Chain A
């Protein structure tokens, strides 16, 4: 087994993707249950989310064994399929209400047309991990960029989902503010050089995302348990999206991987100049 494989950032990304694909399965099941899997195509992401983790697990084992060729093939195939599913999902979701009406109300209540891009993001991570050297600064920046894209999605969904009930409770603005801050703080390292102090603030900001996500999960679960439905499943399907807030800690982990790697690189290179600038 290759030495230190578990301490390599690219292994963390592999594990991140594995857990995300697995985690998407129950989320997709609940989301598509709202319309009883009306279209056959709605089963595709679910089947993929259930089967892809097995392939990825095999890929990680080959990585641990130092066999990079099968690791690349398995990951690339899974990654491109994931990208394809995400893009096709986006197109299918585009047929939703908003694109028929183009009103603010229809935007609020439309199917989450950008949600399938989660698959695209995950697929891009797999391809990135195999096509860019994980030791290079570019790799870290791409990881941060993809985490940033995720937080941008979180921002949009926090706004539109909570607008559905008119931000009835003030607390519903918290994820909007949190995700906006995440977007702001993750954008900056991609456009200017930053120093150690900034990284610390970023990690604190990511810790905040974890807290917001866990609190959101608890609040959504509470709302669902006290919601309307014949049984718990119906309450969860029709109620607040119980897994959605967990995207915050999830993306915080991804952003953390990217920032941590970037920070490590700065430690050994131009740190002094960066620190001096501050």
Chain B
């Protein structure tokens, strides 16, 4: 029986490796999906004030990125730079959540599937002066990991901000969300 169990463990492990490698949703075994929080960075000393925005006393968290409020994100949507690409909103959630509803005009950047997004996100991030990253809100950490990935890719840290309230906060306020693809034009209002 122990011999059988050992064979099962070895065969099952091998099959699982193959299944993970073949699955389009498979994980990269060697990758660190949860990079540790950075110590002090340039981003901690910035805040939107440093780039001309409204909140010089943005609260900081150990992740090293300044945070922005819902009101600031609303203001950014009206910024002329949002249309021209110098202000960028990044949605760090997965496909299903993004398509179900995102902040209008936000670009998706699911860092767990970075290979699907970096080709668009990296040029857009280097072209932007301010990049606000958000995820689901609450205990969601994906916006932090996405921002770290961009910083590690060379995007200046002082351009990166987190909207910690995320979609939960946005929708709770009854603000408009865009469904489907970016700039789909399908706008709906969530009930607060």
A and B associate: no
Q: Which residues of A are at the interface with B, using a C-beta cutoff of 8 A? A: none
Q: Which residues of B are at the interface with A, using a C-beta cutoff of 8 A? A: none
